[in-house]
Structure 1
């Protein structure tokens, strides 16, 4: 049985973590399949949007500690190199140029939270739980959690969440900005959003994604520089030409 499923529906791709009997906990076989699935999406010129979901009641319960970390008594530099390989298995989601939507119907804990945070948009269900639980088990956050949370909810809220290590429910996640929507069926809504995103001009969507990344990490001048170039390119897009023609007749 495949631990990660990759499905196509027109221009929309769906990656499903498929180990529901263990709440989609991450081990090396699953992460290897996840890395391969992300790579397939990256190489797929027909893909326009991606949904990431978990099969069963959980999105992802985090790491299978014994399988994933191995001998924890190894020297810190060796463990650091090992951990960077773990992170690389899912952070490729951030490098995709298409829109990505996480459908979080249940717990997303530890590294599972990181997989959701690596997506552009998060849709939560009423039983969703976002768990930056690292401090409660004596572990420093990893996998980009600190950075990705800070990008979404700011430094003070991130510090509070990481210090406490509590599970953040769907309503609180929506209030903080971890999730962008809270709905009864996050899988259906994520597919609906992805389908809408896929209908947009792919070059425009890629530039918007890059523009958001630039804006979140640099100053106004750098952001304006990219926006001016990207907007100039889009002035001749077929979609804008059609809009301009309609506007001229109104």
Structure 2
């Protein structure tokens, strides 16, 4: 259902329902949230890698479970509030970089999960499908916010209304993904990127995530003030002090996330 492994200070969280294209049941969503919380709280983890097993990254909501819920008089809003929203909020606000290794199809809420990550490495066989309108739904799991920030308001509206799949090449062209690699290299490449981030200035990365998120919805003067506050926090870190000393003696810095 969910696999959790830590190597080289990177927590790899794998959606593991390959026969169902890693679609999300209530049980899977609860386990995913628990895994993300575990990674966020572990001081030995300095970056997170999210991926799927088999031929899909994540096909989104498990529609068989959803159909049963509809028959029982239960809608989707409860799981959006109880599961999807806290998952996306945790990914986007976690004080650690989160990398998605998009190994195959990412549809609906599955695409939303990828968009919420800080960086996305996609297989050349990956596809992104904004599948919400195709089943009579509006976007959820932050897609209306994250996708608009990635590609702009007009393009995001087009993708969400038409629901036409994006190939990996087109996703790279639009800026949806960070890089595209051959399918057999996607997990290796994403892990290498996560390891690189795990060896970086963790607190500065956390401040960067906060600054970028804040700037998206605030004015320049407000953003300048928050940047100054965040810079105060970074200046006080051991990583900044060590990196400054290393620079003065022309050495590469070693960061410890402190």
Tell me the TM-score normalised to structure 2 length: 0.87
Partner of 1:57: 55
Which whole-Å CA distance do the structure 2 matches of 1:219 and 1:75 have between them? 43
The corresponding residue for 2:250 is 246
Q: 1:5 to 1:79 in 2, by over 3 A?
A: closer
Which of 133, 154, 157 is the matching residue for 2:155?
157
Matches within 5 A, 1:96-245: 96-184=94-182, 185-235=185-235, 236-245=240-249
Relative distance call for 1:73 and 1:100 in structure 2 (3 A) is same
The more displaced of 139-148 and 228-237 is 228-237
Structure 1 vs Structure 2 CA RMSD: 2.1
Given the alignment of the two structures, is residue 88 of structure 1 paired with residue 92 of structure 2, yes or no? Answer: no
CA distance in 2, matches of 1:197, 1:52: 14
1:217 positional shift: 2.1
65 and 12 in structure 1: CA distance in 2 versus 1, 3 angstrom threshold:
same
Q: CA separation in 1, counterparts of 2:16 and 2:202?
A: 29
Cα shift at 1:230: 3.1
Deviations 1:132-186 (A, max 9, x none): 0211222221121111111111100001101110110001111111111111122
Q: For residue 10 of structure 1, what is the aligned residue in structure 2?
A: 8
Specify every segment of 5 or more residues in structure 1 that has no aligned partner in the other structure, as ranges. Answer: none
- Partner Cα distance (2:71, 2:140) in 1: 18
Q: Distance in 2 between matches of 1:34 and 1:133?
A: 21
Deviation at 1:6, TM superposition (A): 0.8
2:49 partner SS:
strand
C-alpha displacement of 1:75: 7.8
Alpha-carbon displacement from aligned partner over 1:33-55 (angstroms, at most 9, x marks no partner) = 11110111111111110110001
Asked if the contact 1:54/1:60 (under 8 Å) is kept, the reply is: yes
Report the 3-state secondary structure (helix = DSSP H, G, I; strand = E; otherwise coil) of the residue aligned with 1:56.
Answer: coil
CA apart distance, 1:221: 1.5
How much does 1:89 deviate? 5.5
Separation in 1, partners of 2:153, 2:124: 26
Q: Is the CA contact 1:28–1:68 (under 8 Å) kept in the aligned structure 2?
A: no
Report SS of the residue matched to 2:87. Answer: coil
Are residues 129 and 17 of structure 1, via their aligned partners in 2, closer, same or farther at CA, if it must alter by over 3 Å?
A: same
Cα deviations by residue, 1:53-84 (Å, 9 ceiling, x for unpaired) = 001111011111231464337889x7533431
Question: Which runs of 5 or more residues in structure 2 are unaligned?
Answer: 252-258
The answer on whether the counterparts of 1:61 and 1:108 sit within 8 Å (CA) in structure 2 is yes
Structure 2 CA distance for aligned equivalents of residues 172 and 45 of structure 1:
37
Query: Is contact 2:23–2:60 with CA below 8 Å preserved after alignment?
Result: yes
Alpha-carbon distance in 1 for matches of 2:96, 2:60:
25
